[in-house]
Amino acid sequence: MLDYTDLAARIRSLCEGETDTVALMATVACEVHHADARFDWTGFYRVVAPELLKIGPYQGGHGCLVIPFSRGVCGAAARTGKVQLVPDVDAFPGHIACASSTRSELVLPVWNGAGRLLGVFDIDSDQPDAFTETDATALSAILAEVFAQAD
């Protein structure tokens, strides 16, 4: 089981004093990706225009370059502002298969301290039903802390 207390402390230490959104995203993506073997692709999609996400810092194989809010799991997280915990991506209506190996997905909205949606944090797994509510809660807390001071 992933030790989220240790992961949060490590990320906190690395990100201390940083406000640049892309630098923070790159650091979080790297640390989270290497923290657990379940995490096959780990990265951010940034809000770049109304209702539009574009790929940001990530770890793993290539990702989709652009995702409208109206499509896929990432779009649903951005559109609704709610965590998307998807145990079987094939059962998710409108799922975008950026990688054919993806079986389950966890996508969390990312807000700055002023309440502006910066993007979404997407974690894919090649294992079915790889994510839990514990993952969602712990990662949401890490994201809230890290991006509170982001530009």
User: 4-147 adopts what CATH topology?
Assistant: Beta-Lactamase (3.30.450)
Q: Is 96 exposed, middle or buried (0-12, 13-18, 19+ CB in 10 A)?
A: middle
3-state secondary structure of 3: coil
pLDDT in tens, 32-71: 999 999 999 999 999 999 999 999 999 999 889 999 999 9
pTM: 0.96
Instruction: Dump strand ranges (E) for 4-151.
Output: 41-49, 52-59, 66-68, 84-86, 104-111, 117-125
The residue whose two tokens read 């502006």 is: 116
Contact 64, 39 (CB under 8 A): no
Question: Confidence class of residue 111 from pLDDT cuts 50, 70 and 90?
Answer: very high
pLDDT in tens, 96-110: 877 778 999 999 999
What pLDDT does 58 receive?
98
pLDDT in tens, 115-137: 999 999 999 999 999 999 999 99
pLDDT in tens, 78-99: 999 999 999 999 898 877 877 7
What pLDDT does 2 receive?
94
Domain residue extents for the chain: 4-147
Integer CA distances (angstroms), 143 to 6, 56, 147, in order = 15, 15, 6
